[in-house]
Amino acid sequence: MPPNPHPTAVIAEDEPVLARTLARLLEQAWPELQIAGIAEDGLRATELALAEAPDVVFLDIQMPGRNGLEVAEAVADDWPDDRAEPLFVFVTAFDAFAVAAFERAAVDYVLKPATAERLQQTVARLKARLATRAAPPGAGERAALIERVQSIAATPAVPAERIKVIRAGVGNLVRMIPVADVVCFEATEKYVNVVTPSGEALVRMSLRELMARIDSTDFMQVHRSVMVNANAILSATRDENGHYSLALRGLQRPLKVSRAFGHLFRPM
């Protein structure tokens, strides 16, 4: 499929002057590009990107509501089935160490403040990607996109001690929960909800950090904010829209599988 002669883009930037500057420089570097909208916070950026389904999304890293990485995960997870996956360009003030992580993840970046010379390189890279981009992503490709975005935030660090027992708070009580007893982990705004057959408890840690530290390979991602113990999955039910929900041992409610990870439960 030939690339769209008039590709579209959404800009997410909470500083209006920088947003206008980026839009102006893009107009000069890529006259065919149509700016579908500008969002000033992460929640609006997610809504705008999903509503407009642009070819390119320029994302500031630090924004109110959601940061750029969280926006990219949310957009990739809920992206329309009939559209080719978006190309993300992260706009960042991070140092060279963080930039190297972006390069390894094969996602473009622009250091603040954006310059005409740097955007020329970005535009050339985007045009090349658009020329070879597949039509609507196939099974597993959207999940790979989410994992690619998540890998950007996984900066190298000193290896932490592996966790076999989770210390989770329930009011004034601290529960000691063996990892093997966990049914699933659900990320909330500031915590991870640890779900077991005997109840739920919270840990003040990101889901990404927690999954990097637990001493188990039994957990699988079924949503950008949910990891499930594969040993607890009883069945997967597909509705009329093609969406799956899981029945888990020890959990009374069904657990939704996002479209990005539905391919994991299709019959063999």
Per-residue pLDDT tens digits for 116-172: 999 999 999 999 989 887 666 666 666 776 776 666 655 545 456 788 999 988 888
Strands of the sheet with 87-92, listed across from one edge: 34-39, 8-12, 56-60, 87-92, 108-111
| Contact yes or no for 256/245 (Cβ under 8 A) | yes
Residues 78-88 as b/e (b if ≥16 CB within 10 A, e otherwise) read ebeeeebbbbb
**What pTM was computed for the model?**
0.72
Whether 95 has a pLDDT exceeding 80, the answer reads no
DSSP reduced 3-state for 120: helix
Whether 244 has a pLDDT exceeding 70, the answer reads yes
Q: How much of the chain exceeds pLDDT 90, in percent?
A: 47
pLDDT per residue as tens digits for the range 158-178: 456 788 999 988 888 889 999
Closest to 107 measured CA to CA, from 117, 122, 94, 118: 122
> One-letter amino acid identity for 246?
L
- What is the token pair recorded at 268? 């063999």
Question: Model confidence at 260, in pLDDT bands (50, 70, 90)?
Answer: confident
| Contact yes or no for 50/72 (Cβ under 8 A) | no
What distances in angstroms separate CA 178 from CA 105, 163, 182, one per listed residue?
33, 9, 7
Whether 15 has a pLDDT exceeding 50, the answer reads yes
